Homo-oligomer: A and B are copies of this chain.
Amino acid sequence: MSTESSVIQLTAKDYASDQDIRWCPGCGDYSILQQVKKVLATVGAKRENTVFVSGIGCSSRFPYYMSTYGFHSIHGRAPAVATGVKVANPALDVWVATGDGDGLSIGGNHFLHTIRRNVNLKILLFNNRIYGLTKGQYSPTSPLGKKTKSTPDGSVDYPLHPISVAIGAEATFVARSIDVNVKHLEHVLERAAKHKGTAFVEIYQNCNIFNDMAFEYATSKETKDDTTVFLEHGKPLIFGKDKKKGIRLHGMNPEIVELGGDIKEDDLLFHDEKQVEPSLAYLLSRMHFPEFPEPMGVFRAVERPTYEDMLMGQVDAAVRAKGPGKLEDLYDDGETWVVN
């Protein structure tokens, strides 16, 4: 990140562009936009060194609303565009805004490969479990049986779980948050901003027009304490209104237990976001409502060299070994002869 302190400290609103925001009133995208701006201010990002890249979808309008550099590309390709930006100029901070359709349906392959290469990008997936912009078809994250315009009898596709997919590709940073929990979202985004490598954040986002209440279980006052569990590094998984429930491992399977009685905090599963192997993160990614509380927070955060660092390392090494390329030498490669 380019966080050198500049003379003037920017605030969230300095990251807003002059464009009218065209999301539906009540859309969860507004909150995400706001928290991103706050986090940029917190980490002291420079507008000129920050680039937002998106695909197509409601969520992908994101770059227009930022006063940084921005690229509203084509459907599904934002991670690849962003990779080009980052490799061409590794000094830039590059963010990707994508949707569940954009990022996981048409864009699934770029998602996979960008993550496995560990290009230093922040990927925010606005998961509203629906295609918003095209007015309400089911998406790869819509639940089985979901009735939508294109599935009047209910969907027959098992959904993908974005975090499981990311971990399948061995993401170095994976996290989840939710539009309405603005403090948590801000915290998670800040963690992502500070991660060096691909940081993937799934954000549950309400589309109040085509899939309203999709995440009600995780947001409503009545249920949210029982349907979500907040991950903290080194801490046991405890949840519930009175913090009386916990997650324990039974072999390779998580189970919900009541604290008190025989069961102590120490018996619970302790979160370790820094485990070298992503198996724990994978296991956590499998906890779904209604069987389990859904984990929120950072599933995994490990360091490994980024793609662009390794690539530029080779460039630098080549320059050190052979000197900065001279065209004479390039042309003279191989056998030459002289005609007089």
Interface residues in chain A, defined as those with a beta carbon under 8 Å from any beta carbon in chain B: 105-109, 112-113, 116-118, 140, 153-154, 156-161, 164-170, 249, 252-253, 275, 277-280, 282-283, 286, 304, 307, 310-311, 313-314, 317-318
Per CB-CB distance, the 8 closest pairs between chain A and chain B, nearest first, are A168-B168, A156-B310, A109-B109, A108-B109, A279-B283, A252-B280, A282-B282, A165-B168
The docked-state distance in angstroms from the alpha carbon of A143 to that of B107 is: 24
Across the interface, which residues of B come within 8 angstroms of A249, CB to CB?
Answer: 252
With a 10 A CB-CB cut-off, give which of A112, A249, A311, A318 has the most chain B CB atoms: A112
- Between A and B, 6 residue pairs with Cβ closer than 8 Å are A108-B113, A109-B112, A112-B160, A117-B157, A154-B314, A168-B169
Is B156 within 8 A of A314, CB to CB?
yes
The docked-state distance in angstroms from the alpha carbon of A177 to that of B118 is: 29
* A108 CB contact (under 8 Å) in B112, B166, B167: B112
With a 10 A CB-CB cut-off, give which of A108, A109, A113, A313 has the most chain B CB atoms: A109
Across the interface, which residues of B come within 8 angstroms of A282, CB to CB?
Answer: 167-168, 279, 282-283
* A153 CB contact (under 8 Å) in B116, B118, B318: B318
Across the interface, which residues of B come within 8 angstroms of A158, CB to CB?
Answer: 116-118, 170, 304
Is A140 within 8 A of B113, CB to CB?
yes
A92 to chain B, nearest CB (A): 19
Is B112 within 8 A of A165, CB to CB?
yes
Is A317 within 8 A of B157, CB to CB?
no
Is A283 within 8 A of B252, CB to CB?
yes
* A275 CB contact (under 8 Å) in B154, B159, B165, B253: B253
The docked-state distance in angstroms from the alpha carbon of A280 to that of B254 is: 12
The docked-state distance in angstroms from the alpha carbon of A154 to that of B156 is: 43
The docked-state distance in angstroms from the alpha carbon of A116 to that of B144 is: 11
Is A156 within 8 A of B112, CB to CB?
no
The docked-state distance in angstroms from the alpha carbon of A339 to that of B326 is: 83
Closest B residue to A280 by beta carbon equals B252
The docked-state distance in angstroms from the alpha carbon of A160 to that of B232 is: 28
Across the interface, which residues of B come within 8 angstroms of A161, CB to CB?
Answer: 170
A193 to chain B, nearest CB (A): 22
Closest B residue to A156 by beta carbon equals B310
The docked-state distance in angstroms from the alpha carbon of A283 to that of B158 is: 22
A198 to chain B, nearest CB (A): 11
A158 to chain B, nearest CB (A): 5
Across the interface, which residues of B come within 8 angstroms of A112, CB to CB?
Answer: 108-109, 112, 160, 165
The docked-state distance in angstroms from the alpha carbon of A298 to that of B278 is: 21
* A277 CB contact (under 8 Å) in B107, B166, B253, B304: B253
Across the interface, which residues of B come within 8 angstroms of A156, CB to CB?
Answer: 117, 307, 310-311, 313-314
The docked-state distance in angstroms from the alpha carbon of A249 to that of B250 is: 12
A320 to chain B, nearest CB (A): 12
Across the interface, which residues of B come within 8 angstroms of A140, CB to CB?
Answer: 113, 116
